Amino acid sequence: MSLVHEIDFGTPRSKSEKMVTLTIDGQSVSVPEGTSIMRAAMEMGTQIPKLCATDMVDAFGSCRLCLVEIEGRAGTPASCTTPAMDGLVVHTQNARLAALRKGVMELYISDHPLDCLTCAANGDCELQDMAGAVGLRDVRYGYDGENHVFAKSGPKHNHNSPEACENDHWMAKDESNPYFTYDPSKCIVCSRCVRACEEVQGTFALTISGRGFESRVSPGMSESFLDSECVSCGACVQACPTATLTEKAVIEIGQPEHSAVTTCAYCGVGCTFKAEMRGEELVRMVPYKDGKANRGHSCVKGRFAWGYANHKERILNPMIREKITDPWQEVSWDEAFNFAAKKFKGIQAKHGRDSIGGITSSRCTNEEVFVVQKLIRAGFGNNNVDTCARVCHSPTGYGLSSTFGTSAGTQDFDSVEDTDVVMIIGANPTDGHPVFASRLKKRLRAGAKLIVVDPRQTDIVRSAHIEAQHHLPLMPGTNVAVLTALAHVIVTEGLADETFIRERCDWSEFEDWAAFVAQPNHSPEATAIMTGVDPKELRAAARLFATGGNGAIYYGLGVTEHSQGSTTVIAIANLAMATGNIGRPGVGVNPLRGQNNVQGSCDMGSFPHELPGYRHISGDAVREQFEAMWNVKLNSEPGLRIPNMFDAATEGTFMGLYVQGEDILQSDPNTKHVVAALSAMECVIVHDLFLNETANYAHVFFPGSTFLEKNGTFTNAERRIQRVRKVMSPKNGLEDWEVTLGFAKALGYEMSYNHPSEIMDEIAALTPTFAGVSYAKLEEVGSVQWPCNEKQPLGTPIMHMDGFVRGKGKFMLTEYIATDERTGPRFPLLLTTGRILSQYNVGAQTRRTENVVWHEEDRLELHPHDAELRGIRDGDWVRLQSRAGETTLRALLTERMAPGVVYTTFHHPTTQANVITTEFSDWATNCPEYKVTAVQISPSNGPSEWQKEYDEQARQSRRIAMPVVEAAE
Amino acid sequence: MDTHTSTSPDRLIYMANQIGDFFNSQGHDHAVAGIAEHIKKFWDPRMRKKIFEHLDAGGAGLKPNVLEAIASLKK
Ligand code: SF4
Ligand code: SF4
Ligand code: SF4
Ligand code: FES
């Protein structure tokens, strides 16, 4: 193995379709118009020396190292800023250019430390490379003059010399960021970092302060990196050609020697990375330029937050216990499999075939999810399989399949580059889907318009060089009313796209729908009293969306996690169809998926009523195909969904649960009810990296493997199937799919696969939308978006291009029904929940990394007015109470919240935000209503009784018994 | 204290009515068919059994279209 090398073309690719032809060093080369001479040369294999150019940012032309001569033009223009043109004759090297370049390099090196041998960038430093490339052999200037190199300098030019004097130009290293350092003495002020932060990340945290010799890179207003606006995405570190910005892991370990391309295991953006290794040790993750979701960018989680794999709390041995009050016993894999199998068989013998089930993980690979649902359907003999997507995006599946015919978003991420009006509903992309947010912001800075529908003033509403045209701050729970009001304006003002609707949708259904939304009670003015949205703003937003060109809707959990979640998704689909915004680049309906493989786990048949590929279990033809392949009779009745499992457990008809890679206790609503359900079960198997909260109620623990330790595929929010590649051996001994196979075998249902690629082959054979997917194809083309089959062998970036999957697009009526979770005198405020950038989901992984420096605890955000009424100051402990329970956390006063609405995240188990949330759920899918809970808050002295009891129970439950005899191995 | 940990059949009645609320705007015939279809597609047999038992016991609390839909399913 060796490092995966990517060519740096020096300047970004031009998208022009017009080609120009020029001659470089006697060779003719054709490139798209707008390509720099530097890039044109690189495309034919000639690397012109360069320092300040790199292809992730626009050229700046400051270092003057990339000079060339062009026949018929005077001087020596910079090749990075000079565009290729028809007929140019360019020379990249001659005596004059060589002398000029040497002079430039000499100046750079004269103000640069010469500790190359011990420098962390040794072997990966472009300054070093360029010194070599231009043939620099000696530097005539010493450190006598002014320099930035040493803390002290003096007559002896010896920075160790005690009699040397202070050097005002020198700056100490900034090591405040947990993952990278900034060593100003090595900076060549090429501004690549500044441009990366602006153009790629869109945060504008860095500036070059001062001028000429005084100029320095500076985060914020001369702050440290940690105190600045910096979100630690690492783009600047990647852009830096020297050791100035360097990963701490590289400083500690050294340069990597081999790498493999793999996919981030955090969010649904699905960034691909080169995992750069030294032996089996991960040195760093570098975003992969060819990654079609991320195009070479990443966020702090994917790039840096992988330390959890080595965290001391990670469990590496299987464990069992009879009762949850017992300490855990470490056992061999076989003992654990047999113990679990015996329990599950016993439960079925006693309570019937349908008394056990399982939950698949949205964090595991497609192959792992597929074998778990196969184990349940074929091995357990029932359909009690569900996935945590239940609690986030199940309404997306229901809503989009009802209207369009597929349970997935319609676009690829590249599509945003062609969007003119972006509508974001109930999503906070800068925190939840950061790399997509960066791509979106780039488009917004280039002039696209933005509409935000969200109770909170999220960061995207106003950020560096971006301001939403319309922010509709609605009351939580009124999404349907707002969307129907938008439709009302579009229909009554004659803005609907009739041509599109006549051609692509069922016209009579449209007419019914149009008559429905046109009713006066759906107007913005009539609904304002419930929604709290200014009717004028709403009308303006509707007009902009309908008439502003390509309109794209992006939405998140603020849409789905409501009692009308499915209705809202349908309303979004209606809106897209009514405005003709479906079936081409730049438009569409795009759910932003939370976890990395939410899409994949849904595709793989994780729902109790659906076989892989979203086909209902009662369909005989499809079921028989599976029966033939699996050699077993399948149950044709839908099984239990997660909330139904809990109800059935408390009732005594559901007694055994296998949970793969999820922490249902922390992530599901109404913790007390979940605790009661888990305690009622006779055997709970948790398969995870850590003793998570659910494991406190488990009898068997199967240790899991990280994404670095296994092979497989993930499917991101754009339906893109990407490889996960094993770069180290599983520390727990088995890859997760092997664990499921071991358990299945102990149960008497053997599945024989030697490699996950064989599982994918089976998926492809059974699922028409995956028919063309194989590891060989992924090796060849990198990634594909399903449907991938004979008709679309390379996948489908944009869906519904020439007609909807279901035939005609279906308009459906969306009556607004207020949730029963209402405020009243006892619970006058509405609580809504969300997430932040540096933490992920229930935080099991991110809490075990340095990311905690950005988010040590969950805080309750509230408007100063609500706080003042209750005598609460910023930072005070407050008691948060709902009808379901109460918890305490500290207050954060902010005007982002409308008065009457409070907000918190749920990344830390001690917060127990879900003790508060209730069991109201989406009417169609039972997706819990996390986003609306009526609450009261009051000052408090500290953690509630329940929190204390809970902590004690957790502490007791996590005990692991000391081995009695050391096995003599 | 009300903790919302309502056990069936209350919870099932609540869920069934919620389904009804979505379909009701489509008019009686479509609504009854839609509700029945939805329950058939998504409810596990033990949940259906329980709601049928409740129907046999008079179906208190079920809204009219929902009651009709469940009755049609039971046939
Ligand atoms: S890490 Fe990202 S946000 Fe921070 S300064 Fe670098 S590019 Fe900007
Ligand atoms: S920190 Fe690195 S990228 Fe930024 S100006 Fe200095 S040398 Fe260039
Ligand atoms: S967490 Fe999401 S945005 Fe961040 S690197 Fe991973 S996939 Fe990309
Ligand atoms: S690389 Fe062209 S001026 Fe620096």
pLDDT bracket for residue A165 (50, 70, 90): low
Chain B residues whose CB is inside 8 A of the A884 CB are 3-4
A885–B contact, CB cutoff 8 A:
yes
CA B52 to chain centroid: 9
pLDDT tens readout for residues A21-51: 999 999 999 999 999 999 999 999 999 999 9
Do residue B11 and residue A647 have CB atoms under 8 angstroms apart? yes
pLDDT bracket for residue A520 (50, 70, 90): very high
The answer to whether A917 touches A930, Cβ cutoff 8 Å, is: yes
pLDDT score of A968 = 42
pLDDT tens readout for residues A207-226: 888 877 778 888 887 788 88
pLDDT tens readout for residues A671-680: 778 889 999 9
> Closest partner residue to B44 among A640, A650, A919, by Cβ?
A640
Transcribe A108-147 into DSSP letters.
HHHTS---GGG-TTTTS-HHHHHHHHTT----S--SSS--
pLDDT bracket for residue B2 (50, 70, 90): very low
> Worst-scoring range by mean pLDDT, A220-229, A463-472, A734-743, A852-861?
A852-861
Average pLDDT (A745-752) is: 91
Average pLDDT (A98-105) is: 92
The answer to whether A643 touches A387, Cβ cutoff 8 Å, is: no
pLDDT tens readout for residues A678-689: 999 999 999 999
- A vs B, Cβ pairs < 8 A, gives 78
pLDDT tens readout for residues A561-618: 777 888 899 999 999 999 999 989 999 999 887 788 888 888 898 889 988 888 888 8
The answer to whether A318 touches A338, Cβ cutoff 8 Å, is: no
Relative to the alpha carbon of A268, which ligand is closest? Answer: 3
pLDDT score of A714 = 94
pLDDT score of B4 = 38
The SS3 assignment for A194 reads helix
Chain B residues whose CB is inside 8 A of the A648 CB are 46
What is d(CA A481, CA A476) in angstroms, rounded to the nearest whole number? 11
A336 lines ligand 3 (CB under 6 A): no
- Encode A732-772 in three state secondary structure: CCCCHHHHHHHHHHHCCCCCCCCCHHHHHHHHHHHCHHHCC
CA distance A772 to chain B (A): 29
Average pLDDT (B31-36) is: 90
pLDDT score of A556 = 86
Taking the CA atoms of A504, A508, A511 and A516 in sequence, report the sign of the dihedral they define.
negative
> Could you tell me the end-to-end alpha-carbon distance of chain B, in angstroms, rounded to an integer?
39
Closest CA to A915 of A940, A900, A933: A933
State phi, psi for A276 to the nearest 5 degrees: -95, 125
The answer to whether A153 touches A165, Cβ cutoff 8 Å, is: yes
Transcribe chain B into DSSP letters.
---S-PPTTHHHHHHHHHHHHHHGGG-HHHHHHHHHHHHHHHS-HHHHHHHHHHHHTT-TT--HHHHHHHHHHH-
The answer to whether A375 touches A744, Cβ cutoff 8 Å, is: yes
What is d(CA A38, CA A42) in angstroms, rounded to the nearest whole number? 6
CA atoms within 13 A on the CB side of A197: 25
> Worst-scoring range by mean pLDDT, A234-238, A350-354, A953-957?
A953-957
Average pLDDT (A907-923) is: 73
Cβ neighbours of residue A26 closer than 8 Å, sequence gap 6 or more: none
Helices (H) and strands (E) in chain A, counts: 29, 38
pLDDT score of A226 = 87
A489 lines ligand 3 (CB under 6 A): no
Q: Give pTM, 2 decimals.
A: 0.88
The answer to whether A719 touches A785, Cβ cutoff 8 Å, is: yes
Report which protein residue has its CA nearest ligand 3's atom 8: A271
Taken as a whole, chain A contains a residue count of 969
pLDDT tens readout for residues A606-658: 889 988 888 888 888 889 998 999 989 999 889 998 888 998 999 899 999 99
DSSP code at position A633: P
The answer to whether A892 touches A903, Cβ cutoff 8 Å, is: no
Fold of domain A394-591: Dimethylsulfoxide Reductase; domain 2 (3.40.228)
Residue of chain B whose alpha carbon sits nearest to that of A647: B7
Do residue A354 and residue B8 have CB atoms under 8 angstroms apart? no
Do residue A923 and residue B22 have CB atoms under 8 angstroms apart? yes
The SS3 assignment for A380 reads helix
d(CA A434, ligand 3 centre) in Å = 7
Cβ neighbours of residue A745 closer than 8 Å, sequence gap 6 or more: A337, A751
A266 lines ligand 3 (CB under 6 A): yes
pLDDT bracket for residue A910 (50, 70, 90): low
Average pLDDT (A253-268) is: 90
Q: At what angle do helices A565-578 and A394-403 cross, to 10 degrees?
A: 40
Residue of A185, A242, A247 to mutate, ligand 2, most atoms within 8 A of C-beta: A242
Q: Which amino acid is at A4?
A: V
Relative to the alpha carbon of A234, which ligand is closest? Answer: 1
Cβ neighbours of residue A424 closer than 8 Å, sequence gap 6 or more: A450, A451, A452, A453, A454, A460, A553, A554, A555
pLDDT bracket for residue A163 (50, 70, 90): very low
Taking the CA atoms of A519, A522, A523 and A527 in sequence, report the sign of the dihedral they define.
positive
Which atom of ligand 3 is the closest one to the Cα of A273? 5
The answer to whether A715 touches A600, Cβ cutoff 8 Å, is: yes
The SS3 assignment for A788 reads coil
Average pLDDT (A717-745) is: 92
> What tokens appear for A386 in the block?
């569900």
pLDDT tens readout for residues A363-418: 899 999 999 999 999 999 999 999 877 666 778 888 888 888 887 888 988 999 99
Mean of the per-residue pLDDT values of chain A: 87
**Cross-sheet strand order for the sheet of A27-32:** A27-32, A19-24, A89-91, A69-70
Chain B residues whose CB is inside 8 A of the A354 CB are 44-46
The SS3 assignment for A24 reads strand
Do residue B26 and residue A648 have CB atoms under 8 angstroms apart? no
pLDDT at residue A322 is higher than 60: yes
pLDDT score of A212 = 75
The SS3 assignment for A278 reads strand
The answer to whether A717 touches A409, Cβ cutoff 8 Å, is: yes
pLDDT score of A123 = 85
ipTM comes to 0.82
pLDDT score of A627 = 92
What is d(CA A755, CA A761) in angstroms, rounded to the nearest whole number? 10
pLDDT bracket for residue A841 (50, 70, 90): low
Do residue B19 and residue A924 have CB atoms under 8 angstroms apart? yes
The CATH number of A19-133 is 3.10.20.740
What is d(CA A410, CA A393) in angstroms, rounded to the nearest whole number? 15
Residue of A108, A174, A190, A195 to mutate, ligand 2, most atoms within 8 A of C-beta: A190
Which atom of ligand 4 is the closest one to the Cα of A80? 2
Residue of chain A whose alpha carbon sits nearest to that of B26: A813
The answer to whether A545 touches A423, Cβ cutoff 8 Å, is: yes
Q: Report which of residues A168 and B47 the model is more confident about.
A: B47
Ordered by start, the domain boundaries in chain A are 19-133, 319-389+638-785, 394-591, 829-956
d(CA A839, ligand 3 centre) in Å = 11
pLDDT at residue A846 is higher than 80: no
Q: Which amino acid is at A312?
A: K
The answer to whether A294 touches A271, Cβ cutoff 8 Å, is: yes
A435 lines ligand 1 (CB under 6 A): no
pLDDT bracket for residue A544 (50, 70, 90): very high
pLDDT score of A948 = 78
Relative to the alpha carbon of A429, which ligand is closest? Answer: 3
The CATH number of A829-956 is 2.40.40.20
The SS3 assignment for A33 reads coil
pLDDT tens readout for residues A456-471: 888 888 888 888 899 9
Average pLDDT (B17-42) is: 89
Chain B residues whose CB is inside 8 A of the A384 CB are 44
The SS3 assignment for A152 reads strand
> What tokens appear for A48 in the block?
């012109």
> Worst-scoring range by mean pLDDT, A30-44, A151-165, A924-938, B25-39?
A151-165
The CATH number of A319-389+638-785 is 3.40.50.740
Which one of A390, A402, A513, A647 would you mutate to disrupt binding with B, by most B Cβ within 10 Å of its Cβ? A647
pLDDT tens readout for residues A69-92: 999 998 999 999 999 999 999 999
A144–B contact, CB cutoff 8 A:
no
The answer to whether B56 touches B71, Cβ cutoff 8 Å, is: no
> What tokens appear for A197 in the block?
């932060």
> Worst-scoring range by mean pLDDT, A240-249, A324-333, A837-846, A916-925?
A837-846
pLDDT tens readout for residues A129-146: 998 888 888 877 766 666
Q: Report which of residues A832 and A276 the model is more confident about.
A: A276
Relative to the alpha carbon of A219, which ligand is closest? Answer: 1
Query: What share of chain B in percent tops pLDDT 70?
Result: 88
The answer to whether A228 touches A176, Cβ cutoff 8 Å, is: no
pLDDT score of A831 = 87
A506–B contact, CB cutoff 8 A:
no
Which atom of ligand 2 is the closest one to the Cα of A186? 7
> What ranges in A272-319 are assigned the alpha helix state H?
300-304
pLDDT score of A840 = 54
Average pLDDT (A868-880) is: 89
pLDDT score of A564 = 82
pLDDT bracket for residue A158 (50, 70, 90): very low
pLDDT score of A228 = 85
pLDDT tens readout for residues A798-814: 888 887 887 888 898 88
Closest CA to A643 of A627, A626, A661, A667: A667
State phi, psi for B58 to the nearest 5 degrees: 115, -20
Q: Report which of residues A858 and A383 the model is more confident about.
A: A383
Mean of the per-residue pLDDT values of chain B: 83
A201 lines ligand 1 (CB under 6 A): yes
pLDDT at residue A795 is higher than 90: no
